[in-house]
A = this chain, B = another copy of it.
Amino acid sequence: MKRLVAGVLLALALVACQTQPPDQAATGPVLTGPLTVASQGSFFLGGQDVRSDTLSNSARYEPSGTITNDQVYVHYQTPVDAKPASIALIHGCCLTGKTWETTPDGRMGWDEYFVRSGYPTYVVDQASRGRSAATPTAINAAKVGKSPPDQLPTLFAIGRENAWVNFRFGERYGEVFPGMQFPVEAQAEFWKQMVPDWLESLPTPNPTVPALSELSKRLNNTVLVSHSQSGIYPFQTVSLDPAGVAAIVSIEPGRCPAPTEDVRPYVKLPVLVLFGDYIERSPRWSPRLQGCREFVDATNKAGGRAEVVLLPDVGFHGNSHMLMQDRNSLEVAGWLRQWIEKHVE
């Protein structure tokens, strides 16, 4: 009888174990069922007033007046029983905060994942993109002949043929790396996420950087998670003022700070530079990885605790540049969550 009871208990225990992978069962968030938040909403950071006589080139609207530009839109959700650290998610080139929402193939985005993990989560639209207004005055001035066309803003949209290669879906447009995890069957939905990029028409640092500093101070204890073209922003934010920044997570940055720069601002906080797969096969990304390795070495020599992690080295294979949308995006998020839990108070 004792043996029977022990057998039943063992069987029950095994069934219990099989319902969730051990890691999730131990510490992971519940990813299905209703989501409860303590609060949600949106607001703007930064912004400055601009007076112009070329607000409009339409006969129906007054050309003179005052608008605000350089503001940064933020959407947030805070969980019930929130952890003490917050997370800010900052998208990259030619995209908006949509990057972190529902994936192109309809799965949960990192915005919801981190809320379900207990982190107040803030998603921004960079200055002059998405719900953060760009300024049309230079375009209107050219249209009405008040300024020459070469004074028009520098703008670019990225065509899918180039994005395909730059985002490492494959070596050439239409070709897919073996085992690549981006849901290419849903690519049409992904291309719709892309917006014109005003980056090169904006001052340095990008107005998003002081906005991130303002956000970090307001929230206190904030993990700045950047991607690609915004990869450098958390570093620039900390360089401007380290107040309120708990850690830097720079995902596939366009560049890290140069190793010859003053790295002292970065030695006092955890720094993670995270890359996906196929880096060595990409003439665009392999030198960027190398640059980040040099930066991390210089920072650690100065007493820092920075690290470069390649996802294949921690067991994830096939990740594209859009790793927050790849098929294994939530597993990667789970790894990042554990990194944050380990490194941030």
A residues engaging B (CB < 8 A)?
34-44, 47, 49, 52, 55-58, 60-62, 64-68, 71, 73, 75, 80, 96-98, 101-102, 106, 108-109, 112, 125, 130-131, 133-137, 139-140, 142-143, 145, 149-150, 152-162, 188-189, 191-196, 200
B101, A192: Cβ atoms under 8 Å?
Answer: no
| Interface secondary structure of A, over-half rule | mixed
In the bound complex, what is the Cα–Cα distance between A118 and B341 (angstroms)? Answer: 36
A64 is contacted by which of B98, B145, B159, B192 (Cβ under 8 Å)?
B159
Contacts of A61 in B (CB 8 A): 156, 158, 162
Q: Which of A106, A125, A152 has the most CB of B within 10 A?
A: A152
A80, B192: Cβ atoms under 8 Å?
Answer: no
- Given A36-B36, A37-B35, A156-B57: A65 touches B161 (CB 8 Å cut-off): yes
In the bound complex, what is the Cα–Cα distance between A97 and B41 (angstroms)? Answer: 12
A58, B192: Cβ atoms under 8 Å?
Answer: no
A34, B156: Cβ atoms under 8 Å?
Answer: no
B143, A150: Cβ atoms under 8 Å?
Answer: yes
Contacts of A189 in B (CB 8 A): 43-44
> 20 pairs across A/B with beta carbons < 8 Å?
A34-B38, A34-B80, A36-B36, A42-B102, A43-B106, A44-B192, A52-B159, A60-B200, A62-B158, A62-B159, A62-B162, A64-B161, A66-B191, A67-B194, A68-B194, A133-B157, A133-B196, A134-B196, A136-B155, A152-B152
Q: Shortest beta-carbon distance, A7 to chain B, in Å? A: 40
B125, A139: Cβ atoms under 8 Å?
Answer: no
Contacts of A135 in B (CB 8 A): 157, 196
Q: Shortest beta-carbon distance, A149 to chain B, in Å? A: 5
A98, B131: Cβ atoms under 8 Å?
Answer: yes
Q: Shortest beta-carbon distance, A94 to chain B, in Å? A: 9
A155, B36: Cβ atoms under 8 Å?
Answer: no
Q: Shortest beta-carbon distance, A138 to chain B, in Å? A: 9
In the bound complex, what is the Cα–Cα distance between A60 and B284 (angstroms)? Answer: 12
Q: Shortest beta-carbon distance, A165 to chain B, in Å? A: 10
B98, A200: Cβ atoms under 8 Å?
Answer: no
A149, B159: Cβ atoms under 8 Å?
Answer: no
**Beyond the given A47-B188, A57-B152, A136-B155, could you list 6 further A-B residue pairs with CB under 8 A, ordered by the A residue number?**
A41-B109, A55-B156, A64-B161, A136-B196, A149-B149, A152-B152
A125, B131: Cβ atoms under 8 Å?
Answer: yes
A131, B130: Cβ atoms under 8 Å?
Answer: yes
A42, B98: Cβ atoms under 8 Å?
Answer: yes
Contacts of A192 in B (CB 8 A): 44, 47, 68, 71, 133
